[in-house]
Amino acid sequence: MPNPSIADLVSAARDADAHLGTTRLILIDGPAGSGKTTLGGRLGAALGAQVLHADDIYEGWTGLTSMWPVLGTQILAPLAQGQAASFAAWDWAASARGERIDVPVAPWLVIEGVGVAQRSARPFASLILYVEAPFSERLRRGIARDGEAMRDDWRRWQVAEAAHHQAELTRENSHVIIDGAAPVPDQ
């Protein structure tokens, strides 16, 4: 079955109710290297939406299970109350929180990354997308982006994300499954 187009996803988002105050939140989850960031950028551009990246939310390679205080408390909770949000992005080189990212109240918000569609976040979402691709392709993409020296980190992360997605039933609770190894057309 072919992937939906960006136009199809925009239409689905527009048809969905807002559950984050007046903001329609689109969560894009799935394993690392599957194409979430690319899809998030394209969908964000089509909607005129800010795109947040989980890489700025979790604290390094072990932050997957501890991302909720930033995602839930600092981003989603204020927006649900109609207030602007902000958080300090994770600086991977310094291994510390750094530059602040402001998240104003807006009609749309896209958040992409492994773990963003966890159970606690789903009630706020208007649309949940799950992007998947074969293990070997995801690892190839990750090594191409981060370098061969990161291979062991990528392999450890892939084990952690698989356990997380299974425990959270992320794929099963997504509205749309995207094949990250196949094209997503504009129209």
Q: What is the pLDDT of residues 118-165, one digit of tens each?
A: 999 999 999 999 999 999 999 999 999 999 999 999 889 999 999 999
So what's the pLDDT on residue 174? 98
Asked whether residue 50 is assigned to any structural domain, the reply reads yes
Number of domains in the chain: 1
CATH code at 121? Answer: 3.40.50.300
Q: Specify the range with the lowest mean pLDDT, choosing from 20-24, 62-66, 129-133, 159-163.
A: 62-66
Paired tokens of 138: 């995801």
- Determine the angle formed by the axes of helices 6-15 and 36-47, rounding to 10 degrees: 60
The single-letter code of the amino acid at 16 is: A
Neighbours of 110 (CB within 10 A): 27
Asked whether residue 186 is assigned to any structural domain, the reply reads no
Q: Within 13 Å, how many C-alpha atoms sit on residue 6's CB side?
A: 16
pTM for the full model?
0.97
Asked whether residue 78 is assigned to any structural domain, the reply reads yes
| Domain limits for position 151 | 6-179
Q: In this model, does residue 1 exceed pLDDT 90? A: no
So what's the pLDDT on residue 31? 98
Asked whether residue 42 is assigned to any structural domain, the reply reads yes
Asked whether residue 170 is assigned to any structural domain, the reply reads yes
Q: In this model, does residue 108 exceed pLDDT 90? A: yes
Asked whether residue 1 is assigned to any structural domain, the reply reads no
